[in-house]
Amino acid sequence: RGRNLQVVEWLLPVNQRRVDFLTTDPTVVEPTSTFEEFRVASTLASVLLEGSEEREISSARLDDGIDSEPVGLLRTEDRRFMAVVFPTADVVERIIKLAEANRDTTILLVNPQWTTQGNIVSDFGFGFRRKRAEEFLSRFESSYSLVERRIGNNIGPNFNNGVRGVVRLLKSSQRDWQIHIMSNNIGTLRQPVVVRKAYPSYGELCSLLTAYEIRRRGLTMDQLRDSLKEKDKQRRQRGK
């Protein structure tokens, strides 16, 4: 049953990635709107559902269409496959009902918009509603995920965390998380720096990036800290 419930998270070719997918500088181009990101994700999901058989796809919206975030529903004509694009916590109950009414259908959640880590208050509310949502979503299996995390302040002073950088995390079905540190060196990008069974926390990624910089530069921790402080000082002077 779990194989019929899948989660797909794409790193969308929008914002700075529209021109160059490997670019990590957010100042390269104007930001893309949420609706534009939704449109791109919907297009990718449609192609995925069509497959080599070029199945007919129908589309609808699950959001209220007024002041809520866009949520799309794509279905193949034969009802074998269904994708909910940009699902939010507000529509989980509707997704539950769709799953109950289509038990033989493979359902994909494409780029879910809720957060399950680090929240003091759950996106799914409290009590029974939260329990029902979390129990249902726990049945989904991540079949593909490519996400980007920024460590430290990548475009300004960064006194607290020391290191700064961008990592991309890749996971495919039945494989562990591969962690890639973004670099101009294509050889570095091809191979993951490390592999983890569980999705790493921000603190773990910060420690990983620190260890990577120490090894790459051949410095001690104190030398790395001094080097980063000097770079921050030079950056502030250039900004005056």
Return per-residue pLDDT of the chain as tens, 240 residues: 446 999 999 999 888 788 888 888 777 777 788 899 999 999 999 999 999 889 999 999 999 877 789 999 999 999 999 999 999 989 999 999 999 999 999 999 999 998 766 565 677 777 888 899 889 999 999 899 999 998 876 554 444 445 678 899 999 988 999 999 887 777 667 788 889 998 888 888 888 888 887 777 776 767 666 666 666 666 666 655
pTM of the prediction? 0.80
- The full DSSP string for the chain is -GGGEEEEE---S-GGGGT-TT---TTSSPPPPHHHHHHHHHHHHHHHHHTTTT--EEEEE-S-SSSSPP-EEEEETTSSEEEEES--GGGHHHHHHHHHH-TTSEEEEES-----SS-SS-TT-SHHHHHHHHHHHTT-EEEEEEEEEEES-SSS---SS---EEEEEEEETT-PEEEEE--S-HHHHHS-SEEESSPPPHHHHHHHHHHHHHHHHT--HHHHHHHHHHHHHHHHHHH-
